[in-house]
Structure 1
Amino acid sequence: MTELYLVRHGETAWSKSGQHTSVTDLDLTDHGVEEAKALRQKLDPADFGLVLSSPRLRARRTAELAGFTPEVDENLAEWSYGDYEGMTSHQIREQVPGWRIWTHPLPGGETRTQVIDRLTKVVQRVQDSGVERAICFSHGHASRVLALCWLGIDIARGQSFPLATGAVCVLGQEKESPAIIRWNA
């Protein structure tokens, strides 16, 4: 089975402030640039037979600063937050008490089913690739959904898998079962 490395993009102004960012195409902060460059110490592009990135600038730039030349895959885009774009969870909860992305709807955004379908396509693409290692540069929520699809776990459990900016995660197999090899490295 292919090992799948997931990399969350480096810090942006909105990831720093906690604002939900899907379609807003923000660049990295200076700290985000440093996070992306630091990935060069952890990852060697020659080790990967398949290199994919979200179409968003923050993910593509993270990949490039880490030394990779990714192929853009639209399915790696962040979960579309719709009307909640640019809002923090606290602001959303003022309108919808108890709101969690993992369990509540996103008015004007993607449904859980749409996100699962989209990221399951990435899992299938990686598993069908035949490469030893693949890497995906993506986003916080999208990467967690991708990992949960890999593992066959309901995405309502996504809140149990926090993901820092610039973090590297590795998915693989333990004997016959899909597994997390490393998380938030």
Structure 2
Amino acid sequence: MNLESITLVRHGMTEWASSGRHTSVTDVELTAEGRKDAQALRDPLMAMGPFDGVYSSPKLRALRTALLAGYAVPELSPGLREWGYGRYEGLTTAEIRGRIPTWNIFRCGAPGGESLDAVSARCDELLREWDEKGHRHVLCFAHGDILRALATRWLGLELRFGEHLHLDPGSISRLG
């Protein structure tokens, strides 16, 4: 495998993220705090570079984070869209657990959304694609659960392991 490192950046804070609402297909903007946090990513990311592949989810919150962090032309990658929450879109974990006390996206998926197998396959395809392009150091701007899933697959683990990972809005994680 050519791919030596993947740097994961979770988009900055949004109103939905601050209230704990699951957001996949709903396109929400960064809050003022989220924009400030995204701008603060510039220097740490520049110090980690250069990257030979820079990708962003097509969702506004991820793309805006990339732009504010100094990456004016990331390649939009539909594979980096957030895990499809289906009927859980807009609900908080507490609301979902009120119905299913042991619910966790990495164990249960989401009704009407993406299955664990589908998300795992999507992550595997991204890793394969980046490797086939000859990338060695990839930077991607995306969302909490898809980045946790991508990290899990990079490690060669089952998707369930993702429940043990945590990514705050506006955070940087590097796998290598």
- Structure 2 length-normalised TM: 0.94
Q: Between Structure 1 and Structure 2, how many residues are aligned?
A: 172
Unaligned runs of 5+ in 2: none
Whole-angstrom distance in 1 between the partners of 2:99 and 2:136: 46
Check if 1:71 corresponds to 2:75: yes
For the Cα contact (< 8 Å) 1:63–1:70, is it kept in 2? yes
Whole-angstrom distance in 1 between the partners of 2:29 and 2:12: 9
Q: Secondary structure at the match of 2:28?
A: coil
Query: CA RMSD, aligned part only?
Result: 1.3
- 1:110-157 CA-to-partner distances (Å, cap 9, x unmatched) read 000011111111111222232331111110000000011111111111
30, 39, 42: which is aligned to 2:41? 39
Moved over 4 A (4+): none
- Structure 1 length-normalised TM: 0.89
Whole-angstrom distance in 2 between the partners of 1:97 and 1:61: 35
Q: CA deviation at 1:46?
A: 6.2
For the Cα contact (< 8 Å) 1:2–1:130, is it kept in 2? no
Whole-angstrom distance in 2 between the partners of 1:10 and 1:64: 11
Unaligned runs of 5+ in 1: 173-185
The aligned counterpart of 1:93 is 97
The aligned counterpart of 1:3 is 5
Alignment of 1:50-65 (within 5 A): 50-65=53-68
Amino acid corresponding to residue 22 of structure 2 in structure 1: H
Alignment of 1:76-155 (within 5 A): 76-155=80-159
Amino acid corresponding to residue 138 of structure 1 in structure 2: A
40, 43, 49: which is aligned to 2:52? 49
For the Cα contact (< 8 Å) 1:21–1:85, is it kept in 2? yes
- 1:38-93 CA-to-partner distances (Å, cap 9, x unmatched) read 01111129611111111100000000100112110100000000000000000001
Whole-angstrom distance in 1 between the partners of 2:88 and 2:136: 38
Whole-angstrom distance in 1 between the partners of 2:128 and 2:58: 19
Deviates more, 1:30-39 or 1:119-128: 119-128
Question: Percent sequence identity over matched residues?
Answer: 44
More strand by share: 1
Q: Secondary structure at the match of 1:135?
A: strand
Q: Secondary structure at the match of 1:21?
A: coil
Whole-angstrom distance in 1 between the partners of 2:16 and 2:79: 22
Deviates more, 1:2-11 or 1:40-49: 40-49
Whole-angstrom distance in 1 between the partners of 2:100 and 2:137: 41
